[in-house]
Structure 1
Amino acid sequence: MAATAVAPVVPVVPVVPVVPVVPVVPVVPVVPVVPVLLVEVLVLVVLVLVVVVVVTGGAVAADSEAAEVIWASPPPTPSFSTNSVSASRTL
């Protein structure tokens, strides 16, 4: 038997091209701060009003109706005194 020479096995390493990594900056839309705060304040005011009406059982609405009735009545006529005091201002 003759010995046959076996060639050494050289592993083939694939060549990976080097791609430069570009940092991706996310685009954040610029939202003005004032309208956002205004909307938040309005939402809080509405929530507070809803809570007040629910807790008081509508008593606030009844009071406002009574205030309208009082406001609709004519104001009392003032009475003026004949004794008038003149105030003098000294520097």
Structure 2
Amino acid sequence: MQKKAVVLVSGGLDSATVLAQATAAGYECYALAFDYGQRHRAELVAAKRVAETGGAKEFKVIKLDLSSIGGSALTDMKIDVPDAGAV
């Protein structure tokens, strides 16, 4: 019986590497991403692409409501997204 693993994917290099390592180690991988109400969908699109190209057997998105733990520019339209050059 093949070993199974759940791999959290965000669409970035770290999660793509973990998925590749788990697959190479012989695990049947199931990719999981979180929809926490982020303003842009690019992260979830990238996570799906990582899961598909990385050989995950399935890709699931879990919706989370993070509104009770405070605002963030990632999730609150009333907060400006910081300028990359700002300190």
Structure with higher Rg: it is 1
Higher relative contact order (CA 8 A, sep 6+): 2
Structure with higher strand content: 2
TM over 0.5: no
**Superposition TM-score, scaled by structure 1 size:** 0.20
Question: Normalization by structure 2: what TM-score?
Answer: 0.21
